[in-house]
Amino acid sequence: MITGGTGYIGSWIAKYLLEAGNTLRLCVRDESKTEKYDFLLEIAKENNANLEIHEADLLKLGSYDEIAKGCDEIFHIASPFSLKIKDAQKQLIDPALIGTKNVLESASKSGTVKRVILTSSVAAVHGDNKDMKDQGLSEFNESHWNKTSNIKHQPYSYSKVLAEGEAWKINEIQNNWDLVVINPSFVMGPTLSKGSLSGSIDFMEDIIKGKFAMGAPKLMFGFVDVRDVAKAHILASNNANAKGRYILAERCMSVMDMTKIIEARFPGKFKLPKMISPKLLMYVVGPMFGITAKFVSNNIGYPIKLNTTKSTKDLGLKYSSMENAIEEMIVQMTE
């Protein structure tokens, strides 16, 4: 069973599961909106795989109970990722927290589910980039947890902390299934789903439309190809010894580093920044991008490093280059 299987990350996971010939139960909010999943029906048909469509609602308790029965594994991907929100509780926290509780309780009731693979985020590992310095760390690894985000500051990150924390609590009080958590950094690359509402696509759109043309913020993220994120889920499914959390990042780089990659692959095509924007200026222009003064203070100018050894050693994940992921993403978006 998969939740969020028509989204940015989930559709790639669904694709790989269907290509391997699995029977997959796809949970959607409205079965009548076939345009949301018809591409997956086509993939299933091409691979002689069985794709079942089931209606369910993250916020409706018990709506996954019958769907989970008979399943061996559940991939719980569904959780909103948007950088442009008006009501954090309603748009981010409720779907992430209530949805996770709902799906995992159905796993416990199923009697058949042996493993749950949950998509969390590196945002559950750390909140602000400044956290690394404040905690006296040289890098973040899977043992670290974000303790600085809240509903008013970094609400998306806070939603991931709450949801993953709830998942581990539920896992501890039962013995039927084990839990593996994938913690991707900023996800890039092409989408399979035409209607994907990912903040990753919004972010790339801001860059290529010239929103940073006057100067790039000195802001650093971990980045990873969306297909590598999907492959990590498949590897976690296939590896009986997979356990705990897995941070995913091909590299950490700044917004300026990313724009240099774009310029190298698409010379002269976009209005890209030529300079780093001073931190003081970011306090002034930040609100135009929905960025608070506290975010500027705690993130701009602070380096970040993510340890991804566990993903390569335990899962055997081989990372694809970000240059190709960025190029393919932009080609698709401009087309």
What's the pLDDT at 135? 96
Nearest to 156 by CA among 109, 117, 200: 200
34-41 mean pLDDT: 94
CA distance 116 to 105: 11
C-alpha angle with apex 187: 295 to 166, nearest 5 degrees?
A: 70
Q: What percent of the chain has pLDDT over 90?
A: 83
pLDDT the model gives residue 89: 85
Which of 160, 218, 231, 310 is catalytic? The answer is: 160
Confidence check: pLDDT of 80 > 80: no
What pTM value is reported for the model? 0.95
* Tally of CA atoms within 13 A in the half-sphere of 314 that contains its CB: 20
Active site residue 160: yes
Q: Hey, where are the domains in the chain?
A: 2-334
Q: How far apart are CA 86 and CA 100, in angstroms?
A: 22
Token duo for residue 90: 């309603």
Sheet holding 50-55, edge to edge: 50-55, 23-28, 2-3, 73-76, 115-119, 178-184, 244-248
Q: What is the mean pLDDT of residues 221-246?
A: 97
pLDDT of residue 83: 56
Mean pLDDT of the chain: 93
Residues 6+ apart with CB under 8 A from 271: 210, 213
CB atoms within 10 A of CB 185: 24
Please check whether the domain covering 2-334 is classified as CATH 3.30.420.270.
Answer: no
